[in-house]
Amino acid sequence: MLKHSTVMRDWLPMIAAVCAVVAAAIYAHTRQAHAAEEMHEAQDLAASLSAAADLAASGTLSTQDIETLNTLQQDLEHRMADTLEPSLVQAELMKSAGIVGLVLRGISPLQRAYRAPDQNPAAAYPRYRVLVSGTYQQVAEYMQLCSRQRLPARVTEFHIRRAAGEDEMSATELNADITVEAFQPHSSDEGQRDSN
């Protein structure tokens, strides 16, 4: 019995040292895992902040962008004001005819078409009758160009017939009777009345 207690006494410091090493290893592993978790959280936070900074940068307009937007807004306001002037709309229609090489025979404003009482009166835009002469391709280009001109107008109706005459040029020349509808902005008061 004495021999066993002596052996135990001799091994006790070594057992204590082993336990201390095991405890230190467990503590170190726990701290490392905790540090890795904190680093992962820090990386996630950095990624979130970076994404937020990119979003803020992309959503912020530069001085040049602001100037461009102001220029576009002024141009739009001028166009909307110009659409209220029939002479300016007719001038645009004449200019477009010249661009595609059509011979302009005449432009005249048309009375607004009758609309049923249940239809929105604001949907009735100023209409113009345009008489031109030229080839089929020129007439087709003109009708497309009307919608892209500075004061756009859409074609609502057209009639094409061969030009009268015996000469060689008249064989390809056509007379076109085109009705276009020009955009005209309505005041907010009219819009409110129309919606009621």
Q: Is the pTM of this model over 0.75?
A: no
Is the predicted pLDDT of residue 196 greater than 60, yes or no? no
Q: What is the reported pLDDT for 20?
A: 73
Of the candidates 73, 60, 66, 143, the one whose C-alpha atom is nearest the C-alpha of residue 102 is: 143
CA–CA gap between residue 29 and residue 24 (Å, rounded): 9
Residue closest to 179 by CA, chosen among 153, 140, 149, 145: 153
Where helices occur in 60-181 by DSSP H, the ranges are: 63-82, 86-100, 136-146
* Average confidence (pLDDT) over 105-121: 69
User: Once rounded to an integer, what is the mean pLDDT over residues 151-155?
Assistant: 90
Closest CA to 102 of 144, 146, 132, 143: 132
- Assess whether pLDDT exceeds 60 at residue 192: no
Q: Answer for the pair 121, 115: CB distance below 8 angstroms, yes or no.
A: yes
Model confidence over 56-99: pLDDT tens digits? Answer: 777 777 788 888 888 888 888 888 888 888 889 999 999 999 99
Residue 86: CB atoms within 10 A of its CB come to 14
